[in-house]
Amino acid sequence: MDNYQGCTDSALLALIAEGDELAFAEVYRRYKGVLFLHARRILGNDEEGKDVLQELFTTLWTRRTSIDLKTNLCAYLYASVRNRVFDIIAHRKVEARYIASLAAFIEQGEYVTDQQVQEKELRELIEQEIALLPPKMREVFELSRKEELSYKEIADQLHISDKTVKKQVNNALHILREKLDTVFTSMACFLFF
């Protein structure tokens, strides 16, 4: 088919199941905006909204031959976004409990050797991951987080724009969040389950 815009969602889904990339692109074009706004509105974060959308469409493509819709495509996509958003919110709650628990230990001075070792290992892991960032990104990130310089101060020092500094810091945080996500989850599970 040449005109994918005239296709129904079910026709597009059938074409996607056959590996038709143009049909997939049409579904993406139709739904990316509203799904992103839906995810961002609930999460309150553009980057997490983009991540949800990317994961959703990646899954749609990789599972295209095995998707068995019980409803229409639009409802399926919205439900998928909702489920991914709920996963993120649940993960945030686990992280918040972990951070609150760690803060309580610090305030009460109830460190035990195991916790000190875990905290040291976590700090070392974070430092290792920071060291693996691309050199310019690492420099900007360290000036922001370790030296506690403002974006403007970093921009002036490195002769780059504030926007570039902000983008580098956001990219670094995104990379670190992805790499440390499994560590936080396993530590939180250890503490709470």
| Of the listed ranges 59-73, 93-107, 158-172, the one predicted with least confidence | 93-107
- Do 10 and 67 belong to one domain? yes
List pLDDT tens digits, range 121-142. Answer: 778 877 888 888 888 988 998 8
- Do 66 and 33 belong to one domain? yes
- Do 81 and 38 belong to one domain? yes
- Do 9 and 84 belong to one domain? yes
Q: How many domains does the chain have?
A: 2
- CATH number assigned to the domain comprising residue 122: 1.10.10.10
Is 104 within the bounds of a domain?
A: no
The C-alpha atoms of residue 38 and residue 58 are separated, in whole angstroms, by: 18
Could you report how far apart the first and last alpha carbons of the chain are, in Å?
53
- Among residues of the chain, what percentage have pLDDT more than 70? 85
- Do 84 and 9 belong to one domain? yes
- Do 187 and 131 belong to one domain? yes
Its pTM surpasses 0.85 = no
Whole-number CA gyration radius for the chain: 21
- Do 131 and 67 belong to one domain? no
Mean pLDDT to the nearest integer, 133-159: 88
Domain boundary pick from 55, 88, 121: 88
Is 126 within the bounds of a domain?
A: yes
Mean pLDDT to the nearest integer, 104-131: 71
Sign of the C-alpha dihedral computed for residues 85, 90, 96 and 102 taken in this order: negative
- Do 67 and 117 belong to one domain? no
CA neighbor of 129 nearest in space, from 177, 91, 94: 177
Domain carrying residue 25: 4-88
Q: Give the pLDDT band of residue 183 (cuts 50, 70, 90).
A: low
DSSP 193: -
- Do 83 and 116 belong to one domain? no
For the cut 90, the answer to whether the pLDDT of residue 69 exceeds it is no
pLDDT in the model for residue 24: 94
- CATH number assigned to the domain comprising residue 82: 1.10.1740.10
Domain boundary pick from 54, 88, 122: 88
